[in-house]
Amino acid sequence: MTLQVMKFGGTSVGSIEKIQRVGSRIQKKKAAGYDVIVVVSAMGKTTDHLVDLAAGITVRPSKREMDMLLATGEQQTMALLAMYLINEGIEAVSMMGWQAGMVTEASHGNARIADIKRESIQKQLNLGKVVIVAGFQGVTEDFEITTLGRGGSDTSAVALAAAFKAELCEIYTDVEGVYTTDPRYVSKARKLAELSYDEMLEMANLGAGVLHPRSVENAKKYKVPLVVRSSFNDEPGTIIKEETSMETGLAVSGLAFEKEVTKITLLGLPNKIETLSNVFKVLAGAGVNVDIIIQNALDKETTSISFTIASTHLADALDVLKTNQPILSYSDLNIESNLAKVSIIGSGMVSNPGVAADMFEVMSNIDVKIKMVSTSEIKVSTVIPTSDLNKALEALHEAFHLDSPLVEPELSSKA
């Protein structure tokens, strides 16, 4: 039989009624003649509840014990779903990450998958059973339970699809697919029929929360076709694959954004080759991720560096920079908060020069001041005041014709 992987997020399994709806969808897939591996997240806000319980015990819980605690969330979902299917006459079996052969590196809280030992799952598939796997978790070679970090269930699903050479990996969520931008901010946001892996990866990295970047990276690496679709209806979703089959004529496919961005500028740094390395080694050592970077040489002796970070990391960044001021030798430090990053993304930008200029013109016409810019072959990112975010998204969405309805390609029956 042909194999497909189905992944259901927390909102899709947030109640008994929703689990029953998921079970009915799995029954239809099985009845269509497919072997099925199902990956599930914890029910609704279960993970948040478990984190709150740990916080009631200690402000700094052991990472190992947090993994032991959080892994129980998915265990509830998989067992309840298996019970439902069995009660409906569908042979099913649930498996924790370690039972499913999900081997990870020895890193608690944000482990990466190192290998998938296929024997246990394959044995159950050979018996005709639906295999339900707890997402977000695995086990080290030393049998320590680990979790995969934010978006870990997406990563589990794609990894299993790659390991078992599934013809499709469906990601079921509370939205009908990937949109041109967040419809909560732009009322005319439109569901996209298709996206390339590269476009989806940029969107995920730049703030679109539909898929985790690690899952898209793995899908691209192993050429796993993905479909993002709603678990609440039968509408076609968004296909994510190597190359899109439809020439839309649009250079830009979508907009992504991040709020809570802070810009830090270090002034009076020594204008030396090692200055950049010294600054960002110090920040990396404190676990502060840096995004956009701009350097300006003020004269032969001094330079300045500006960079952006997530505002949630500001306290850590300031602490480590001020502690290391004697080593870094900067004269002053400026902070600008209440910023947002807005990005346009599209593989068509490669063959359409002038897209960045068009973006800057739109911003100028609506009187939005651009603080910083970063580009790649298929994206342009700008840092702007958060107060201008909504009008920038609306104007860019209209200017790049993202609200124009396009004829969607037919999804195959396999999707």
Domain of 125, CATH number, reads 3.40.1160.10
Q: Are residues 297 and 169 in the same domain?
A: no
Q: Count of CB atoms within 10 A of residue 156's CB?
A: 29
pLDDT confidence band for 211 (50 / 70 / 90): confident
Can you tell me the distance from the alpha carbon of 373 to that of 381, in angstroms, rounded to the nearest whole number? 6
pLDDT value of position 342: 96
Query: pLDDT tens digit string along 298-343?
Result: 778 899 999 999 999 999 999 999 999 999 999 999 999 999 999 9
Residue with tokens 């916080």: 55
Name the β-bridge partners of 183. Answer: none
Tell whether the model's pLDDT for residue 20 goes beyond 80.
yes
Contact of 133 with 101, CB cutoff 8 Å:
no
**Angle, nearest 10°, between helix axes 213-222 and 197-205?**
160
Q: Are residues 39 and 135 in the same domain?
A: yes
pLDDT value of position 247: 42
Looking at this protein, which amino acid is placed at residue 201? Answer: L
CATH of residue 393: 3.30.2130.10
SS3 36: strand
Indicate the burial class of 105 (C-beta count within 10 angstroms; 0-12, 13-18, 19 or more): middle
Can you tell me the distance from the alpha carbon of 179 to that of 164, in angstroms, rounded to the nearest whole number? 29
Q: What stretch of H or E contains 262?
A: strand 254-270
Range 77-103 average pLDDT: 97
- Tokens linked to 392: 């920038």
pLDDT value of position 248: 53
pLDDT value of position 274: 92
Q: How many domains does the chain have?
A: 2
Q: Are residues 169 and 280 in the same domain?
A: no
β-strands 145-147, 137-139 pairing:
antiparallel
Name the β-bridge partners of 171. Answer: 7, 228
Q: Are residues 136 and 24 in the same domain?
A: yes
Average pLDDT across the chain, whole number: 91
Can you tell me the distance from the alpha carbon of 16 to that of 80, in angstroms, rounded to the nearest whole number? 8
Range 219-240 average pLDDT: 93
**Domain boundaries, position 10:** 3-174
Query: pLDDT tens digit string along 355-368?
Result: 999 999 999 999 99
Can you tell me the distance from the alpha carbon of 28 to that of 176, in angstroms, rounded to the nearest whole number? 19
Q: What percent of the chain has pLDDT over 70?
A: 96
Query: pLDDT tens digit string along 160-209?
Result: 999 999 999 999 998 899 999 998 999 999 999 999 999 999 998 887 77
Can you tell me the distance from the alpha carbon of 262 to that of 385, in angstroms, rounded to the nearest whole number? 10
pLDDT value of position 348: 81
Q: Are residues 162 and 23 in the same domain?
A: yes
pLDDT value of position 412: 38
pLDDT value of position 415: 36
Q: What is the value of pTM for the model shown?
A: 0.83
Domain for residue 394, yes or no? Answer: yes
SS3 20: helix
Q: Are residues 265 and 358 in the same domain?
A: yes
